[in-house]
Amino acid sequence: MAKARKKKKARIGFIGAGWWASANHLPILARRDDVELAAVCRLGKTELQQVQEHFHIPYGTEDFRKMLDEVELDGVVVTTPHTVHYEPARACLEQGLHVMCEKPFCTRAEEARDLVRIAAEKNLHLLVPLGWNYKPFFQEAKRRVQSGVLGSIQFLTCHMASPIRDLLTGAPFPTDDVGGQASKTLFTPAASTWADPKVAGGGYGHSQLSHSTGMLCGLTGLRAAEVYARMAAPGSRVELYDAIIATFEGGAIGSVSGAGTVPISQRFQVDIRIWGSDGMLLLDFERTRMEIIRHDGKSEALKLEVKDGDYSCEGPPNNFADLILGKDTVNGSPGEASMRSVEILDAAYRSAVSGKPEKV
């Protein structure tokens, strides 16, 4: 990616402006003097007006193509429901605009590959907001793994569990400060976006494992070749539990697991462990640990506090604006890694239906 020419202001539009966009991305970007929130597109005239008035956005429409035709923009944030990321993201890239697309990046592998291809061909930034990617100890782990400290990667486990049972079952989402991410926002999560399989395309895999597998793929550079999965949805229309076995290009194997029923009073669990020919990496965001243990005894561990692993998502929108403005040259959560995550999850959902291993 070539370094962007420095601009005085990044003109950013939004396609989709519901719960998470209004709770996180819009407020963060609105606080910046070097960002102009130029346009917003979302369904519902009343809700659209609320977003425009709250964030002082001059242009609003329910038709994203009209927005792209009528407003001069530098970049667009796509936060539509999971299964409809592809079309607006592709339209923005084709028009030469940088894109930040919410996770799950896409729900179909061929769509994710197409977006990554277009962004590369047009020399555009494509970012998927995975907040944990911006934690300093994750960035250090990535540097160390990519420097070859583990040798060749041979086996891995990637586990994530979250307090989101209500979200995935369509129950009223908690708005308290204990696990209630919907507090003090314009909108609460739409049940259909998360709990309706026709809109969500799936459950815990798309909504949460898109985080952990995106991190895994960015950390290791691995790409899955074949996936076998089992999923369970007790009391839910979308799955709450995922058990996935993956074979990666180059021969490494591993497991990816997920559970959406952590009690609301508990922390998110993200635990990635990687074994290589020279040693292993332990990366834990619940108890907050980054440790490398090598066969030659040259081991290391970062000194961390538990709060260092808390989830926050300020990094991605700020990184996106800085990339547009030419202030940053490194994309902290690039589309390429999330594309590889989509490949895993797409194959996993197909495998859960077929009962057989599925090729990526």
Rounded distance between C-alpha atoms, residue 20 and residue 164, angstroms: 14
Helix/strand/coil for 195: helix
User: What pLDDT is recorded for position 168?
Assistant: 96
- The pair of three-digit structure tokens given for residue 261, joined into one six-digit string: 């029923």
Rounded distance between C-alpha atoms, residue 82 and residue 114, angstroms: 16
- 213-234: per-residue pLDDT in tens? 999 999 999 999 999 999 999 9
Place of tokens 């990366």: 283
Name the band, by pLDDT with cuts 50, 70 and 90, for residue 180: very low
Residue type at 81?
P
User: What pLDDT is recorded for position 6?
Assistant: 63
Residue type at 17?
A
- The pair of three-digit structure tokens given for residue 162, joined into one six-digit string: 């979250």
Rounded distance between C-alpha atoms, residue 195 and residue 218, angstroms: 28
User: What pLDDT is recorded for position 172?
Assistant: 81
Rounded distance between C-alpha atoms, residue 301 and residue 195, angstroms: 40
Given a contact cutoff of 8 angstroms between Cβ atoms, the answer to whether 10 and 74 are in contact is yes
Number of CB atoms found within 10 A of residue 218's CB = 24
- 260-311: per-residue pLDDT in tens? 999 999 999 999 999 999 999 999 999 999 999 999 999 999 999 999 999 9
Number of CB atoms found within 10 A of residue 353's CB = 10
Given a contact cutoff of 8 angstroms between Cβ atoms, the answer to whether 16 and 42 are in contact is yes
Number of CB atoms found within 10 A of residue 136's CB = 11
Given a contact cutoff of 8 angstroms between Cβ atoms, the answer to whether 216 and 222 are in contact is yes
Given a contact cutoff of 8 angstroms between Cβ atoms, the answer to whether 235 and 248 are in contact is no
One of 3.30.830.10, 3.90.1150.10, 3.20.20.80, 3.30.360.10 is the CATH number of 133-310+340-359, namely: 3.30.360.10
Rounded distance between C-alpha atoms, residue 104 and residue 102, angstroms: 6
User: What pLDDT is recorded for position 184?
Assistant: 65
- The pair of three-digit structure tokens given for residue 346, joined into one six-digit string: 């797409």
Tell me what the mean pLDDT of segment 56-76 comes to: 98
Name the band, by pLDDT with cuts 50, 70 and 90, for residue 181: very low
pTM of the model: 0.94
Tell me what the mean pLDDT of segment 241-249 comes to: 98
Tell me what the mean pLDDT of segment 14-31 comes to: 96
* DSSP of 223-235: -EEEEEEEEE-TT
How many residues in the chain? 360
Rounded distance between C-alpha atoms, residue 293 and residue 282, angstroms: 8
Rounded distance between C-alpha atoms, residue 71 and residue 93, angstroms: 15
Given a contact cutoff of 8 angstroms between Cβ atoms, the answer to whether 254 and 248 are in contact is yes
- Start-end ranges of CATH 3.40.50.720 in the chain? 10-132+316-333
Ranking 14-23, 120-129, 188-197, 317-326 by mean pLDDT, the lowest is 188-197
CATH topology of domain 10-132+316-333: Rossmann fold (3.40.50)
In the predicted model, is pLDDT for residue 162 greater than 90? yes
Q: Which residue has the higher pLDDT, 158 or 1?
A: 158
User: What pLDDT is recorded for position 326?
Assistant: 96
Rounded distance between C-alpha atoms, residue 119 and residue 37, angstroms: 22
* DSSP of 244-280: EEEEETTS-EEEEEEESB--TTSPPEEEEEEEESSEE
- 101-117: per-residue pLDDT in tens? 999 999 999 999 999 99
- Start-end ranges of CATH 3.30.360.10 in the chain? 133-310+340-359
